[in-house]
Chain A
Amino acid sequence: MGSIELVCPAGSPPMLRAAVEAGADSVYCGLRDETNARNFPGLNFSPAEMNEAVAFARDHGAKVLVAINTFARAGADETWRQSVDTAVAAGAHAVIVADIGVLSYARQAYPDLRLHLSVQAAANSAEAIAFYAESFGVRRVVLPRVMTAPEIATLVKATSVELEAFVFGGLCVMAEGRCALSSYATGRSPNLSGVCSPPEAVSFETDANGLTPRLAGVAIDRFGAHEAAGYPTLCKGRFEAMGETSYLFEDPVSLNAMAVLRDLRSAGVKAIKVEGRQRGKTYVRRVAAAFRGAIDALDAGRDCEPFARMLTDLAEGGRETEGAYKRKWR
């Protein structure tokens, strides 16, 4: 059994360098426009920075994967095609794509280009993966974060396509790419615009009831005086159903699947992925180093447990979950 590839996020050139220096095998990043799913102000790469990033990574034995993983706007496909062209010109190892239209273009224009299927395509079955492999020659699929570890193990056996699984960071509770909650409230969503719960729609209001974060005016949560307020990501707020107010969709936790790393590796998962292009170089340096240590420990036949505790304070709200990897999550 081979080792497992560590794929880390880079929202900027310094973050990319930090990830590579901390032991990432691959780094994923996007261009500074709506073609990538972390289209936040101040993030991402210009074409020139992308060229430099690929050169830096290559010099350090790492690979750059370019995320062009939003859905092309009807009538404006050209922007997405240009991003594919830019990634190819920069010498990217692969592009990460979700949209059937962009996949179709990339395959036709660049028959040898390595295509990874983005998590935004939410391919969670052998059949879905077969469709993308047969139609577009997709070589790797990033799995949605709604699958259990045993399901992933079964899937590895049922496909010849490489599988990549998220192990750390923010957690979508909905199937990625199958969620329009953000645009329902704000008009902008991951699929339409590469953003979820966009900052320009956020406001905070303080009154006698406490602090209320709002998204396009909709109350997403309410915090008492002694509670730490988080960013109002729509699915992670408190709502009322059946007369009870609770974190209906998901508790404010983030994913840390280091405890199932051994299972994923034995199952034959090819790569593990860290979320968080928006979180900066300090974050990626620490996460990359911890997972590098854990992978190297497993490769050497040792336990990776000591590395799990290294990251607890990085979790959103300070709490972690193994998410859907454990069946009771459902």
Chain B
Amino acid sequence: MSALELTVGPLMFLWSPERIADYYAAIAASPDVSRVYLGEVVCGKRSPLTVEPLLLAEEALTKAGKAVVWASQALPATPREARSVRELAEASALLEVNDVAALASLPKGAAFVAGPMLNLYNQSAVAALAARGCRRICANVELSLEAIAAIAKACPQVEIELFAYGRLPLALSGRCYHARAHKAHKDGCLFVCETDPDGMIVRTVDGEPFLAVNGIQTLSYGVHLADAEVGRLAAAGVKALRISPHTGDVHSVLAAFGAFVRGDLDGAGLRAAVTATRPPGPLINGYLYGRAGMLTVAER
């Protein structure tokens, strides 16, 4: 059994150029990461601010021997966003597709990765996209390991990546909730989302933290951790684990996952090591076992 691959998913938040540079320098230095997804997947308005730092990151990552895959926006809504997706689709050797709009622009037969924000829930859907060039899916976060195993079994030609660390991308809207919370509209947002590099905390009326808002996107407050035993992940057909960018001690998170995929840490060890890095929220994993996503359940 070959070891699980480690990847880093696209940055979902609006970070400063300095933070972007620091983060990807850490990724470039990690011996365990083999593939990195780059691109603005949440809001096209941010692209002018992030494109240069991300291009610099691509350079550093490529130099360090990492494969770079560009990722398309999850809900392109304006003509400018549609154009960006089209240009990215036409220019990329291997694109991560996060909205079906990008599929229409891909050259016939071009290889692509289906991102976690694409609605692929079963083997028939994955098979239909495999016939169009889909080589890998990063499973939709709602899918359980059992569902993933059924897909893997029926579609052995498609590699499966698992969203393994980070706040879960739960919802997309036409409305910007960052702007709304700041009493503004999306068109005049002043990029207020930049003030929350892991998302803006949303609490219930009981004062319990529950969700995190990131522009038009809503994420979980809890930090999802795929802490099932490596053998079980592999049995479900998982080939790669995806780390989603957050602030904090990225070196230690990467080191913990590196030890986990090499078999030096078990699921409980991974949980302990990641907890020690003080992630932005409590570690959760309910979706893996077909339960509510916000729950933390012991492996069963």
Contacts and interface: CB of A to CB of B under 8 A. Distances in A.
Interface stretch (B25-33, B181-189, B260-268): B181-189
Given A72-B121, A241-B213, A147 B174 contact: yes
B119 interface: yes
A219 interface: yes
Interface stretch (A52-60, A169-177, A305-313): A169-177
A75 B125 CA distance: 12
Given A146-B77, A173-B173, A77 B104 contact: no
Contact of B286 (A73, A121, A187): A187
Contact of A77 (B124, B141, B173): B124
B202 A100 contact: no
Contact of B125 (A101, A173, A177): A101
B142 interface: yes
B204 A77 contact: no
Contacts of B220: 184
A131 B172 contact: no
Contact of B119 (A134, A147, A191): A191
Interface stretch (A122-130, A160-168, A265-273): A122-130
A278 interface: no
A105 interface: yes
A330 B121 contact: no
Interface residues of B, number: 74
Contacts of B286: 187
B100 A128 contact: yes
A238 interface: yes
| A interface: dominant SS | mixed
B172 A178 contact: yes
B129 A245 contact: no
A28 interface: no
Interface string B155-194: 0000000000000101111111101111001110000000
Contact of A131 (B103, B143, B175): B103
Contacts of A104: 124-125, 127-128
B85 A241 contact: no
Given A184-B294, A185-B294, A219-B204, A191 B177 contact: no
A143 B129 CA distance: 22
B100 A173 contact: no
A248 interface: yes
Given A74-B147, A131-B103, A100 B129 contact: yes
A112 interface: no
Nearest to A122: B75
Q: Which of B105, B146, B170, B182 has the most CB of A within 10 A?
A: B170
Contacts of B293: 180, 183-185, 187
Given A173-B175, A175-B75, A178-B172, A239 B204 contact: yes
A127 B85 contact: yes
Interface string B89-115: 000000000011111110000000000
Contacts, number: 220
A204 interface: no
A242 interface: yes
A124 B292 CA distance: 29
Contacts of A71: 119, 121-122, 125
Q: Could you say which interface size class chain A belongs to?
A: 35 or more
B173 A184 contact: no
A328 interface: yes
B156 to A, nearest CB: 15
Contacts of B226: none
Contact of A128 (B101, B172, B175): B101
A189 B168 CA distance: 15
A25 interface: no
Given A219-B205, A239-B203, A241-B202, A178 B119 contact: yes
Contacts of B171: 174-175, 178-181, 235
A187 B290 contact: yes
B181 A101 contact: no
24 contacts: A74-B147, A100-B119, A101-B123, A104-B124, A126-B82, A127-B85, A146-B77, A178-B117, A178-B171, A181-B170, A181-B171, A183-B287, A183-B293, A184-B294, A185-B292, A186-B292, A187-B291, A212-B205, A219-B204, A221-B205, A238-B205, A239-B205, A241-B177, A241-B202
Given A75-B147, A146-B175, A248-B181, 12 more contacts: A102-B124, A105-B124, A124-B75, A174-B218, A184-B220, A187-B290, A187-B292, A219-B208, A222-B205, A239-B204, A249-B173, A249-B177
Interface of A: 71-77, 98-105, 121-128, 130-132, 134-135, 144, 146-147, 151, 154, 173-175, 177-181, 183-187, 189, 191-192, 212, 216, 218-222, 235, 238-242, 244-246, 248-250, 324, 327-330
